[in-house]
Amino acid sequence: MIKKINLLTNKIIKEYSGSYKPQKQEFEDSWSYNKLISIKNSLKSTQTNLSVFFGIKK
C-alpha cells in the first residue's frame, strides 16, 4: 500500500509540473487510477479556492 501511495504521489507531482497526463493502462488497478483522479481534482479545487481567497489571478 505504501508503494502504491508513493507511486501516486510521484504521478501527482509530475502532473503539477505539467509533464504528466494519467493513462489508465499505466495503473495496475482501477483503484489507483480513480484515487489519482480524485486527489488531482481535489487539489485543483483547493488551488482554485486558495487563489480566490487570496485574490490571485492565474
Residues 42-54 as b/e (b if ≥16 CB within 10 A, e otherwise) read eeeeeeeeeeeee
Quickly count: other Cβ atoms within 10 Å of residue 11's Cβ.
19
Residue 52: pLDDT band with limits 50, 70, 90: confident
Q: Is the pLDDT of residue 1 over 70?
A: no
pTM value is 0.45
Distance (Å) of CA 45 to CA 13, 30, 32:
16, 22, 20
Predicted confidence (pLDDT) per residue in 10-40, tens digit: 777 776 666 566 677 777 778 888 888 888 7
Q: Would you state the pLDDT for residue 19? A: 59
Q: Would you state the pLDDT for residue 17? A: 62
Q: Would you state the pLDDT for residue 32? A: 80
> Domain limits of the chain?
1-54
